[in-house]
Amino acid sequence: MSKTVKHEIKADSLLEKGMEIIWSKGYNGTSVNDIVKAADVPKGSFYFYFDSKEDFVIKALDKYFTTQVTPALVILRDKSFSAKQRLINFYEYRIEVVKKELECKNGCMACNLSNEMAEHNENIREAVLEKHDTIKAEIIKVALEAQKQGEIDSSIDVINMVEFIEDAGKGAMTSMKETQSAYPMDNVMNMTRQLFLK
């Protein structure tokens, strides 16, 4: 096994363990000591793989989106369904992950970090924004396709529609954690169906 491959495996292991802590405790609530302790490596090893805690978090965001978002994008791109049905399947999948896998407690790691750090760390803010913009572009593309096929009202501004749904989803994540209930997410899905995807 090459040194480069070993390096990547070790860095990925650190990301895997540390990401869980960052997700639950936040940026300021997590120390480098917490991360290396969870990964069972010496503290010096951390700085061999990452320049700083900020660098770690930005790379953790990349891993988070690859892990959490890639399956959702596969659903969104599945052309065996109509464009409107792909949107519904996509949103329902995301909500199910939050409800079942995350048990309505952790919410979205990127949203959590954005809420905590957007005012204080420009690099983290931009990293989250870039990922969210990439996802929104994919959703908008499918929504425009649905509108072209007559599945979404032609009077609706599709870009504003997607922005609204995504913003509502982020707000519902916060309410979901506060209440430890899936209702806010289910409500966003129900209203999305009623207003846009009827």
Q: Which residue has the higher pLDDT, 100 or 74?
A: 74
Share of the chain above pLDDT 90, in %: 69
The model scores a pTM over 0.75 = yes
- Using pLDDT thresholds of 50, 70 and 90, give the confidence band for residue 6: low
Residue 116 pLDDT > 90: yes
Q: What integer is the mean pLDDT of 135-154?
A: 97
Mean pLDDT value across the chain: 91
pLDDT of the residue at 103: 65
> Could you report the per-residue pLDDT of 158-177, keeping only the tens digit for each?
999 999 999 999 999 889 88
Q: Which residue has the higher pLDDT, 105 or 189?
A: 189
- Using pLDDT thresholds of 50, 70 and 90, give the confidence band for residue 178: confident
Residue 40 pLDDT > 60: yes
- Using pLDDT thresholds of 50, 70 and 90, give the confidence band for residue 29: very high
Residue 141 pLDDT > 50: yes
pLDDT of the residue at 3: 47
Task: List, in order, residues 6 or more apart from 136 with CB less than 8 Å away.
Answer: 162, 163, 166
Residue 25 pLDDT > 90: yes
- Using pLDDT thresholds of 50, 70 and 90, give the confidence band for residue 7: low
**Residue 190 neighbours by CB distance under 10 Å:** 11
pLDDT of the residue at 41: 86
Q: What integer is the mean pLDDT of 134-141?
A: 96
